[in-house]
Amino acid sequence: MNYINKIKRRLIAYKHKYTKAESIVKANSTELEILRAKIKKINGSEPLGTSSWENNRKLVRSEILNSDINNFLNWKVIQKTMFFEAPDVEYKKVVKNNQLIDGIVESKIGNPKPYFLNKNTSGNLVHHAYSLSFFLDVSKLENINRVIEFGGGYGSMCRLFRNMHYKNEYVIFDLPEFSALQEFYIGNIDKKYLNNTVFTGDENLIKNECAGTLFIATWSFSEMPLSLREHLLKYLNFDYCLIAFQSNFDGIDNVDYFKNFQNLYKNIDFNITPIDHLAGNFYLVGTRKK
């Protein structure tokens, strides 16, 4: 990144830090009351341990119940676990695709920090568009009849698809706190975006025989224990995939794992691409053989 862009990024970050979030969602809104009721119910039914992700779940629960939802994209736990500001190399690739240009128009929900190269978007949304661009390099959104995303963060990738006028089914498989937050976020951007959108932690709802299914897992499936990966694959059928993974996670050699993963799907052509600016990270893109 050049010196001018570094200055831009710092100035935007400074201004954003001291700018109060716009009160788009009122403190007594029905949507917020529903979200908090869900979290209270989860609190009562699912006690948590002390692992790193269980601690993150505790933090998300606490923030939703006690903090300003209009600023949720700046909560530390969200910034730490679900947010990555795209470097300029990612933006340059994204803006070469007209579909993605339309898709990266940002919402004010959650008070996202404006992107230093384009104030109408955010760094995280650009990053998700960059990931999707690798799939769009070899296929089309029109080929997709169903999306199954493992670990959807706060719902940003799903929102990107809806911004790009994808109207078919989109399923986000996730932990209950995140499912509740995703539904709140997507619904507040546009109620129509909830049509054909499923937020679930039930494996049975990802099982299908729908032709044209795209499996998305950006730094999520690769962070699961091997036993959980094996269990979930029993329910998963797909014709296309977009997977981002790090070479090693928690002692698991993901490079070796995803080489073997490809052997499970003889009807799919796979390609692994290193992410040059994120050393040790890769995209695995799969498309149905013709």
The CATH number of residue 154's host domain is 3.40.50.150
Number of domains in the chain: 2
pLDDT digits 0-9 by tens, 175-210: 999 999 999 999 999 999 999 999 999 999 998 888
Percent of the chain with pLDDT over 70: 100
Residue 9 sits in the same domain as residue 150: no
pLDDT digits 0-9 by tens, 18-72: 888 888 888 779 999 999 999 999 988 888 888 888 999 999 999 999 999 999 9
Residue 152 sits in the same domain as residue 251: yes
Residue 118 tokens, joined: 């384009």
Residue 101 sits in the same domain as residue 28: no
Residue 214 sits in the same domain as residue 245: yes
Residue 52 sits in the same domain as residue 93: no
- Residue 278, domain extent: 88-109+118-288
This prediction has a pTM of: 0.95
Residue 123 sits in the same domain as residue 166: yes
Residue 270 tokens, joined: 């796979």
Residue 57 sits in the same domain as residue 160: no
pLDDT digits 0-9 by tens, 113-147: 999 999 999 999 999 999 999 999 999 999 999 99
Residue 156 sits in the same domain as residue 96: yes
Residue 37 sits in the same domain as residue 62: yes
Residue 225 sits in the same domain as residue 104: yes
